[in-house]
Structure 1
């Protein structure tokens, strides 16, 4: 290393500085590989006092590190030099590309994007509270517990999420058993994952998040590798939100039946999104307290703390007094409200400043946590219990997959209860237009009123008849299906129509990716799967997508093995004799498929119960990624 040459290149560093910096680097590169990992570099330099964790991290983005992401000695010296220059440069000329704006709930951090001139804003309190949530749920985890706690006051959370392991564990906390962690790539012997293995983990995270119903838009594996803060924070929120709202379910809480309004049917109630049920629950307690206000949102309606004060008092009058109502200063009142919540062991997600600012995400998280821990509703007597179909009831599993698929098309409003939400035909017509552009004329659609009210049965029939006609015009098999069947909520016929739209979507996707542009039949797709099994040197076979032997998951694992040799560790595959083994095989197949980049909607039980339509979607998704 030519010290004189380096000093000319970085005049801000003296020769003594350079010797010290080189020694620092060598202390990191103990194996003399010529490089150090980014994370280790950031921690080493921030510990040395050259800059804060966030400043070092952001300044490193301006150093020309190669695509491997490893920091070589020249890069290390350049990083220290840039940090020194930033300390002496006027504020307007500093190149750290990180700015702090505002305080409290208005505190935000503006970070530079990957393209010149682009910036993104991170809400500091959201980052901090979501980090605390991750610390609380992953503490003691066998695989990543040694990385916990993550500092809540720095950007380290984004670096920790980079390899996909923290996010995978977070998904499994929100929706248990979603990811088979045996498929994840873990660092070995202290060596960080490379970009390829990170991208595989990222595929699992992104596709699993979509499969549990998270809205994941414009997030790709390379965004993990680059540690794009705004995208990772958005994904973290979606996963946390899913876990919180998943529990707001009348099957888990039959006492939610008490929230039905006069003349409201159970079917109408079940159509409500979980956020609306939370607001209904909040207002139920406000009404019970004879309080004259109601909440319609998680922002301005809760910002003064009054409604929270009354809610907490209703949940536990002994512990939570109404004293905050006498306090004039809003921040002081907010602290008193959260002190009351702490008495219930429910002070989480929300800070006084975020409460007063009406931060909708943190308020939603706070209220959801409050409901999950202190619903405050009288138990429903056996005679009162509403009749609700079990999730395993005929059609419910397909309904779950079709709901996720329709929402992935960005239909509006999002589907919550498939059979109820499809009754007026508007969602079906949107789906037709998304899958078969130009197939639907907007002027022939009776749209829902902006007020959110239902359209009349007559208009709903016009829509559903139009949907059936559109299907027939595109050669769907719809014998015996009429618009009235959809309006009346006939489950079998509704599922049949949605399935044919989804199936056409898969066929058109495969057609667009194939070399000859030919539409594939079911037998073509099945033949492809069998060929992949043979290519991988396996002998399992099936007669159709409804073959009972599919239940043990081995055939699908053999397809994956032929598609990507080496991805299936057969030491993990069982013969599938027991129910537990069949489930493990199915879960393994789903996680491997997602690792390869396939968007898989089904769950292990769908494979174990050989739901042929859903098996078809699984194989179709595998066929699609072969061409990518």
Structure 2
């Protein structure tokens, strides 16, 4: 290429401000030692993170065209920018054409990122969600020393996708939403002198995705490579589920028993009234509770059109804020809805609650972000009157006792497992949400597609016949269980409809067990179903062949409580994954919990989606331990398949 041709080519190269910010963030992330350059061998990774997927030979050809660098040389940012722009110019004609088609305001269109999807496939991403989630991460992880090299994120660029691509921020955010889910000793953290290698990144992302499932996220068609390459629609979808779970986690009667006050005037049992509603519905009721006590006739039935004029927010903020904050109803005087929304958010800022929404999000009625804004308000200032003990002490105080009941570890594990499968509706209360059988039918159909005769299932219930129709569904649930070989002696449909805790747990456990064993059987390509004894035999045989001395005699073996067999098995399945230097060697209960926590997190890190908790290991809970070893066996079968 002549000098004149090179100059002409450079004149054609245009990099927008947003693109420049993106590629600078990518370059800086790869240039972890801050020397101002990256190796030629890293160019492919950098371009991939920037959304440019091309073959290695094309990179070599482009380098040859520019003649600006030699083989094995380093590349500074200006050279990388030129390469990026030139490759975009030569390979993105289709994208250039599509970009001339105007998109709706505040929507970004991203082309498919696999080789087969780049032609004609786009995913629309709402910019306001990117901004909201970025700001939430900056605010909540800003003080974490492990995140100091990542934050603050720039909400206006692809910084969110780039910085989430190694899994560290995702793992930290999961622990923010569901504390202690991940033992942070198992997270691969980059240091000032070296970045994470591709294997460490894959481990972090595998850990993040499995941990997201464990807290109840439903992940469809998403793997570590999707996060690593920064697919915006998938990253935002994952972040929203993680953030939502954290925001709604305290909307329950154990953390806020005063919520029962919202249901005291209802005809039914106040507890039943509460448990029939989703957390979002409870939030709406909470808003209306405060609106009523503010003396306004304003009420809301959604988080979109009903809040778009900001009136409900103005009254709500004035009602829940401490007097010392000095909030007023003055924004009501502003006639322009955009200016009123901005004044409202300034009021929220006075009590530290300006999160998720902009004035435009309020006016446009963004349901997702407005719900998040209100949930954050509730978590910061619920401001509900205390329970009147006399009012709720009926039946010898039974109602108050039921209100203060906290979900057990077993119940939470089952509920999160169900939600991770994507059942509808989302299971918020294990016993109340299974009483019509519909969630259980969906799980049966996941375990063995086609086993449910859906024409027999009532999906919509007649107001006058709904009790009998739900019991009929539950009777069919029990019948299906018996055909699957479940042990359901003494259980009938009425028990499930009534929310009998012991009998409901018996059904749910057998569903979870059947699900795990079905997956193992499919992976083993066996004509015979895998059973518990085969899992135990596999554990011991695998440990023995690898020279490990630990063994288990069953899932109720007390020796499992020290986590030795679990850690040894993990190390056999993926050598080098267990850092024995960080494991406490003592025999106290706390030392055992410490080891169990690390073992469970490390199991998730190598690909085992373990729902058990450290206490389950230390207390030797046979059901959950069976699931731990079944998940590890699944990893082994996937490796050998």
TM-score (norm 2): 0.84
Q: Hey, what does 2:419 align to over in structure 1?
A: 407
The yes-or-no answer on 1:262 pairing with 2:269 is no
Alignment of 1:591 onto 2:606: no
The total of aligned residue pairs comes to 594
Residue 552 of structure 1 and its aligned partner are, at CA, apart by 2.5
Q: Which residue of 2 aligns with 1:46?
A: none
Written as runs of structure 1 = structure 2, the 5 A alignment for 1:102-501 is 106-114=105-113, 115-116=117-118, 117-188=120-191, 190-260=193-263, 261-265=265-269, 266-316=271-321, 319-380=326-387, 386-388=400-402, 396-449=408-461, 456-501=466-511
Higher relative contact order (CA 8 A, sep 6+): 2
Counterpart-to-counterpart distance in 2, 1:206 and 1:90? 32
State the Cα deviation string for residues 150-188 of structure 1 (Å, max 9, x = none): 112211111111101111111111111111122222335
How far apart in 1 are the matches of 2:351 and 2:457?
50
Q: Contact conserved, 1:271 with 1:416, CA < 8 A, in 2?
A: no
Structure-1 separation of matches of 2:548 and 2:575: 12
Query: For structure 1, which segment, 532-541 or 239-248, has the greater mean C-alpha deviation from structure 2 after superposition?
Result: 532-541
In the superposition, relative to structure 1, how do residues 434 and 32 fare at CA in structure 2: closer, same or farther (>3 Å)? closer
User: Residue 109 of structure 1 aligns to a residue in which SS?
Assistant: strand
What SS is found at the alignment partner of 1:546?
A: coil
Q: Give the CA RMSD over aligned residues.
A: 3.6
Unmatched 5+ stretches in structure 1? 15-23, 43-55
For the residue of structure 2 that corresponds to 1:197, the secondary structure is helix
Map 1:562-581 → 2, pairs under 5 A: 562-575=572-585, 577-581=587-591
Q: Aligned in 2, Cα 1:433/1:587: closer, same or farther, shift over 3 Å?
A: same
Question: In the alignment, which residue of structure 2 is the partner of 1:543?
Answer: 553
Q: Please say which of residues 468-477 and 528-537 is displaced more in the overlay.
A: 528-537
Q: 1:455 to 1:511 in 2, by over 3 A?
A: farther
The verdict on how the C-alpha distance between 1:530 and 1:125 changes in structure 2, with shifts beyond 3 A counting, is: same
Which of the numbers 516, 522, 538 marks the counterpart of 1:528? 538
Relative to structure 1, the CA distance from residue 37 to residue 274 in structure 2 (aligned partners, 3 Å threshold; closer, same or farther) is farther
Q: Deviation at 1:113?
A: 2.4
Q: CA deviation at 1:533?
A: 2.5
Does the Cα contact within 8 Å between 2:603 and 2:632 map onto a contact in 1?
A: yes
Change (3 A) 1:474 1:515: closer
CA contact (8 A) 2:257 2:403 kept: no
- 583 and 97 in structure 1: CA distance in 2 versus 1, 3 angstrom threshold: farther
Equivalence for 2:396: none
Question: What is the CA-CA distance between 1:204 and the residue it aligns to?
Answer: 0.5
Structure 2 gaps, min length 5: 12-27, 64-68, 394-399
Asked if 2 retains the 8 angstrom alpha-carbon contact of 1:122 and 1:229, the reply is: yes
Shift of 1:100: 8.0
Distance 1:418 1:57, change over 3 A: closer
